[in-house]
Amino acid sequence: MPQTDSPETASTTHPTELLEQVAALPLLPGVYRYFDAQNALLYVGKAKSLKKRVSSYFQKNHDGTRIGHMVSKISRMETTVVRSEAEALLLENNLIKTQNPRFNILFRDDKSYPYLKLTGQAISKEKQQLARTNVASPAIKSAAPQDFPRVVYYRGAVDKRHRFFGPYPSAWAVKESIQLLQKVFKLRTCEDTVFANRTRPCLLYQIKRCSAPCVKHIDDISYAQDVRNAERFLRGETQAILDELQSSMMAHAEKLEFEQAAELRNQISALSRVLHTQAMDTAEDKDVDILVARVNGGKACVNLAMVRGGRHLGDRPYFPANVHEAPALEILEAFIAQHYIDVPAPPVLILSEKVDSELIDLLIEQTGIKITALHQPREQRKAWLEMAQKNADIQLARLLAEEGSQQARTRALVDALDLAMEDLALLRIECFDISHTSGEATQASCVVFEGHKMKSADYRRYNIEGITGGDDYAAMKQVLTRRYSKLIEAARNNEAKLPDLVLIDGGKGQISSAKEVFETLGLDLGLLVGVEKGEGRKVGLEELVFADGREKVYLGKDSAALMLIAQIRDEAHRFAITGMRAQRAKVRTGGSKLEDIAGIGAKRRAKLLQRFGGIRGVASASVEDLSTVDGISKDLAQEIYRALH
């Protein structure tokens, strides 16, 4: 939250209407939004009392601070009254994430966290009792997949049909946990369709990573006990599991059931080895998040370390935008407010800064979870915090080094091409590539470089139609015309920015096609540069081809400018290839539906699927085979073949 200074006289630099609106605000909780003269959103904040909080901006002196800079730009304001401060916290952070205000510290929405999923519900009390008393179930007539839960990596929304453990900081942490469950409890990971159709054990059974329930090598009661122990292991009840396994092993030994006792002995040994490899003695802590904020060189990092079920799962760094010289405490509070609105909070937070207790209370009220926040921990918790601090320092140093290297590349490119740029961060480069499969399903990709990094939010793909298959020159003309005819109009209305440099993946032919489009649209030919592959198409030998008549340029294999151009060109190529693979996958999995083909209705679709056994069979059929189906003419068969290939 913004910090205020000593009271001063009321602001005289803001519109009278705005100051009257501030004076009329209620003493109620709510959210306020500040806008500048161009109607751009400057800041979103929450307040227990709108009148007190908002008035402090206009009645106090903030000169020389980032808040003072923001206040000087306020032209108008909007407010929303809510029922409680907790509701205001939720609304504030939803607005911050969706509208990206200029002066709010913003943590980019990452992909959803991965989870470990155990399919199905928990085992019944009857099966638990049978398992505890070492009573085997009756002979299994058939091994149904739903009777033998599988452990699987999962990313997405959780539901009540299955059991979820996490979230985990990375996919690697989930997969490592799955491997542990395979080694110790031998739970299956195969798909239900694979499970239902197996007639003999797979390789995982041979290497002792699965108990092969698919071919009845284990009964459902014993497997259910393994699942129950796996759940308890994930919750951190490891010692209790070891004690139970020890007792069960002794019981089998007393009954002279030495084979079963040996299996339990091996399981105990595997579990003990897993515990021995854990780097930390977690004592009584089960679920803990360790949060460290670091600020250096105008950049900030919040490092989140996770402990789940008593096991340290790893770290994930976050680099916020709009830092504006904010202190570490403010950055940490912003992260807590934004992060735990969407992600379940553990009962213990270990923090590098002492955050406002009201924020934790609001979080408790909003999430319904009792949370304890610790600022100066001891013993094991202190060791966790120190480790997280080291990781935060390492990640921030890496970011600064990478950005310094990238800025050096940007400077080298600007100098090499003699671009008129005062602020390198404003340099915008767009790069185009054409991709197709033997002339079919042509696609063009456009990637954007701005602010010393690739700007993936501005990437675009274009489906190219109405050209001769394989005509890359015509495809390039079409994509550039579609792209810049719209962009020119938007730039005239100050709704978009034209690029400072346009890279084309290709040589003279591609540049000639692009030149025609630029001349027609009235764009500066000096912006247009082709990246022509060198002798033998070797990396580092590329030459630059110019549309404005300049001679070819070879920057040199070790040129920082060429490294940046190659980086952008390769990203355009990757983006195009990704799109092509996605299109092919749609066809192979039936994503291109028969109903979408003109002339194919429900009856003809049913006949096709019945004749060829599904969409894959239809896709693999020849035109002649398709035309043998009742109601499918030769022309329609050719249309079907073309659509599915």
Please tell me what DSSP assigns to residue 490.
Answer: H
Least confident of 99-103, 291-295, 320-324, 471-475: 320-324
Confidence of residue 637 (pLDDT cuts 50, 70, 90): confident
Q: Are residues 437 and 569 in the same domain?
A: yes
Which tens digits make up the pLDDT trace of 452-481? 889 988 999 888 888 887 788 998 999 999
Per-residue pLDDT, 546: 92
In angstroms, rounded to a whole number, what is the distance separating the alpha carbons of residues 481 and 205? 58
- Same domain? For 530 and 559 the reply is yes
Residue 275 has pLDDT above 60, yes or no: no
Place of tokens 């001679």: 551
What CATH number is attached to the domain comprising 621?
1.10.150.20
Q: Let me know whether 520 and 573 are in one domain.
A: yes
Region 563-577 average pLDDT: 89
Asked whether the predicted pLDDT for residue 239 surpasses 90, the reply is: no
Region 215-230 average pLDDT = 88
| 371 falls within a domain | yes
pLDDT at residue 6 is higher than 60:
no
Asked if residue 281 is part of any domain, the answer here is no
Range of the domain at 295: 288-398
Give the model's pLDDT for residue 43: 92
Instruction: Considering only residues 426 and 344, tell me which one the structure prediction assigns the higher pLDDT.
Output: 426
In a domain, 225, yes or no: yes
Rounded CA-CA distance 417/548 in Å is 13
Is 70 exceeded by the pLDDT of residue 17?
Answer: yes
Q: Is residue 202 part of a domain?
A: yes
Please check whether residues 621 and 554 belong to one and the same domain.
Answer: no
Tell me whether residue 137 is exposed, middle or buried, using C-beta atoms within 10 angstroms of its C-beta: 0 to 12, 13 to 18, 19 or more. middle
Residue 326 is which amino acid? A
Residue 532 burial (10 A CB sphere; 0-12, 13-18, 19+): buried
Residues 326 and 341 in one domain: yes
Which of 67, 99, 131 represents a domain boundary (last residue)?
99
Distance of alpha carbon 304 from alpha carbon 293, whole angstroms? 9
Q: What is the CATH number of the domain that holds 530?
A: 3.30.420.340
8, part of any domain: no
Distance between CA atoms of residues 472 and 433, nearest Å: 9
CA distances from 600 to 224, 469, 484 (A): 49, 25, 37
Identify whether residues 434 and 581 lie together within a single domain: yes
Same domain membership, residue 142 and residue 221: yes
Q: Which of 586, 605, 632 is the last residue of a domain?
A: 586
- Mark whether 341 and 384 lie in a shared domain: yes
Residues 433 and 572 in one domain: yes
- Checking if the pLDDT of 284 tops 70, the result is no
Contact 329, 291 (CB under 8 A): no
The pLDDT confidence band at residue 536, using thresholds 50, 70 and 90, is low
Amino acid 139: pLDDT: 46
Same domain, 570 and 607: no
Give the span between the Cα atoms of 447 and 564, in whole angstroms: 13
pLDDT of residue 282: 46
- Please tell me the total count of domains within the chain: 5
Name the band, by pLDDT with cuts 50, 70 and 90, for residue 302: very high
What mean pLDDT, rounded, does the chain reach?
82
Same domain, 437 and 523: yes
Instruction: Assess whether 46 and 94 both reside in one domain.
Output: yes
CATH number for 61: 3.40.1440.10
- What pLDDT is recorded for position 344? 81
Secondary structure (DSSP) of 179-202? HHHHHHH--B-S-HHHHHT-SS--
The pLDDT-based confidence of 263 (bands split at 50, 70, 90) is confident
| Residue 416 belongs to some domain of the structure | no
Residue 123 has pLDDT above 80, yes or no: no
What's the predicted TM-score (pTM) here? Answer: 0.63
- Residue 372 is assigned to a structural domain of this protein: yes
339 in any annotated domain: yes
Percent of the chain with pLDDT over 90: 22
